[in-house]
Copies of this chain bind each other. A is one copy, B any other.
Amino acid sequence: MGENVNPHAHFASICELHLPDHLMPETANLADLCRKHGRRLTGQRRIIADVVSAAHDHPDVIEIHRRAAAIDPGIALSTVYRTLRMFADIGLIETHTFEGGRARVEQATGEHHDHLIDITTGKVIEFRSDAIERLQTEIARRLGYRLTGHRLELYAEPIPGRASPVRRKAR
């Protein structure tokens, strides 16, 4: 899949953006999925799962611990680390380490996307460009390689007086 693209095709549009997943319908919840993978559903895991599901801001581990501790003050940071790693291992979440920061977490959606990081606020915006995806595969092929993964992060600042299209409220 995606292997036999025609590198000389004329792309109808340069990029196709999609909505961030907090605007998309929720799928199964993390806690249930955790159980389905044969793991015990402990109180801590339930809380961490809830925190991650409720978060739409790509929080880092410390922040997830902070939010979890607000519900159960006894929860240990190492439990958060262990639980998040376990969620990642069974594919329920993804972690991304942006430039010089801690790992940040998002619930897996199954749909691949890349990230734009607002350097003024740290806010993360998800996007997807099939054109870029194709170019990456093609570049690897030209260099004699088969693409197995990639990392694309855009660091940017807001254009003054120009609200982000995906955030703009109708009025």
Interface residues of A (CB under 8 A from B): 7-8, 10, 14-15, 17, 99, 116, 118-119, 125, 127, 129, 131-132, 134-136, 138-159, 162-167
Contact = CB atoms under 8 A, between A and B. Distances in A.
Contacts of A147: 154-156
Contacts of A10: 10
A159 to B, nearest CB: 5
Contacts of A17: 139, 142-143
A116 B139 contact: yes
Given A15-B135, A15-B138, A139-B129, A157 B146 contact: yes
Given A140-B156, A155-B149, A158-B144, A135 B166 contact: no
B116 A140 contact: yes
